[in-house]
Amino acid sequence: MTAAAPIPTATAAPLLRATGVSKHFPITRGLLSRTVGHVRAVEGIDLEIAQGECLGVVGESGSGKSTLGRVILRLLDPTAGQIAFDGTDVASLSPGALRAFRRHMQMIFQDPFASLNPRMTVGASIREAMRLHRVCEPSELDDRVAGILGRVGMSPDHASRYPKAFSGGQRQRIAIARALAVGPRFLVADEPVSALDVSIQAEVIELLQELRRDFALATLFISHDLSVVEVVAERVMVMYLGRTMETGDTRRIFARPHHPYTNALLSAIPSRRSRPDRIVLKGEIPSPSNPPSGCVFRTRCRHALPECAAAVPPMRQIAPGQWSACIRDDITTGAAS
């Protein structure tokens, strides 16, 4: 087996570093709301993202991807772990300090229909964010709104309209404009195109890529669509039941996945060709309130051994730029093309 290695680091000095981040939600019963257990949505996650870099996070529904994004932004408080942004301990900020600090870290939500206030015009929504974070003088707000709308491919005239007047793709562009209006350095993009028509998805992805390059944005890109992540992310992290299964350079992992779960996900990418190598995972993802012992994927893994139940496997360096949480090196995986 390959020797144990430290948790992987980004190729440059990290702007964001999360260490041992966990999020547990209590399960309560009775009139007194007695805690009888916990939903372990995120468990012991380590990650780093450099300025201008995109880390893609993939996995099935219920893997903890969206919860991780919200915890990193402190929309949810972590149960354990540390979150450092450019040297600032985000997890320890007071509510007031956190409110001001959020100018540096913004989120693009999955559903553009729900993320915009239907009672506010587009311009009012963007101005509110800039006013809250004191981005500019009040006299400059309208010009900045027009500028940021133009930057995302919208007309300045759209500032006076309400969200209901726009299509899904246009609303997502407006949501992106609102996030960028305060000048963030880090974005969490949570399934930003999954609610859009396929014909519109490519346009929004291209826009996000342009903005990331132009503003050197560090990005955590959450998606269930591996073909999208392959395009947008330099590195990828595969999650299952709140834990990291595999992480590293996107091209390397897509070409030669090591973890059986990663291999199964890649084999499910739609293709015009027949897929005799497709891996069909049996059963459902276990409940995060009662995860399996040891490797959480073992109950659905066709390569599982009795040893897989003994302990949580550590992240090990499999190859330069690739780490995996699997104890087996005697199984053959490969590209899912």
- How far lies 137's CA from each of 134, 141, 150, 212, in Å? 7, 7, 20, 26
Question: Does residue 167 sit within a domain?
Answer: yes
Question: Does residue 146 sit within a domain?
Answer: yes
Would you say residue 39 has pLDDT above 90? yes
The answer to whether 227 and 198 are in contact (CB under 8 A) is no
Query: Do residues 220 and 261 share a domain?
Result: no
User: CB burial class (10 A; 0-12, 13-18, 19+) of residue 170?
Assistant: buried
Q: What is the pLDDT of residues 154-172, one digit of tens each?
A: 999 999 999 999 999 999 9
Report the pLDDT averaged over residues 57-80.
95
Query: Do residues 221 and 334 share a domain?
Result: no
Question: How many Cα neighbours within 13 Å face the side chain of 248?
Answer: 26
Report the pLDDT averaged over residues 106-129.
91
Query: Do residues 119 and 222 share a domain?
Result: yes
Query: Do residues 228 and 292 share a domain?
Result: no
Q: What is the pLDDT of residues 276-307, one digit of tens each?
A: 567 878 888 899 999 999 999 999 999 999 99
Q: What is the CATH number of the domain that holds 200?
A: 3.40.50.300
Question: Does residue 317 sit within a domain?
Answer: yes
Q: What is the pLDDT of residue 177?
A: 94
Query: Do residues 93 and 177 share a domain?
Result: yes
| Confidence tier at 7 by pLDDT (50, 70, 90) | very low
- How far lies 281's CA from each of 114, 207, 223, 259, 325, in Å? 33, 34, 19, 14, 18
Would you say residue 275 has pLDDT above 60? no
Question: Does residue 43 sit within a domain?
Answer: yes
Query: Do residues 270 and 153 share a domain?
Result: no
Would you say residue 197 has pLDDT above 90? no
Q: What is the pLDDT of residues 199-247, one digit of tens each?
A: 889 999 999 999 999 999 999 999 999 999 999 999 999 999 999 999 9
Question: Does residue 23 sit within a domain?
Answer: yes
Query: Do residues 23 and 129 share a domain?
Result: yes
Query: Do residues 187 and 287 share a domain?
Result: no
Would you say residue 333 has pLDDT above 60? yes
Q: Which residue type is seen at 78?
A: P
Q: What is the pLDDT of residue 271?
A: 63
Query: Do residues 67 and 165 share a domain?
Result: yes
Question: Does residue 249 sit within a domain?
Answer: no
Query: Do residues 275 and 312 share a domain?
Result: yes
Query: Do residues 196 and 319 share a domain?
Result: no
| Confidence tier at 59 by pLDDT (50, 70, 90) | very high
- Domain range for 277 is 257-337
| Confidence tier at 327 by pLDDT (50, 70, 90) | very high
d(Cα 85, Cα 103) in Å, to the nearest integer? 12
Report the pLDDT averaged over residues 53-68.
95
Query: Do residues 193 and 304 share a domain?
Result: no
| Confidence tier at 332 by pLDDT (50, 70, 90) | low
Number of structural domains (the chain) is: 2
Helix (H, G, I), strand (E, B) or coil at 243: strand
Look at the pTM and tell me if it is higher than 0.75: yes
Would you say residue 274 has pLDDT above 50? no
Last residue of a domain, one of 218, 233, 248: 233
Q: What is the pLDDT of residues 138-155, one digit of tens each?
A: 889 999 999 999 999 999
Question: Does residue 266 sit within a domain?
Answer: yes
- Residues ≥6 apart with Cβ < 8 Å to 316: 1, 2, 3, 4, 5, 323, 324, 325, 326
Compute the mean pLDDT over every residue in the chain, rounded to the nearest whole number: 89
The answer to whether 260 and 303 are in contact (CB under 8 A) is yes
Q: What is the pLDDT of residue 337?
A: 39
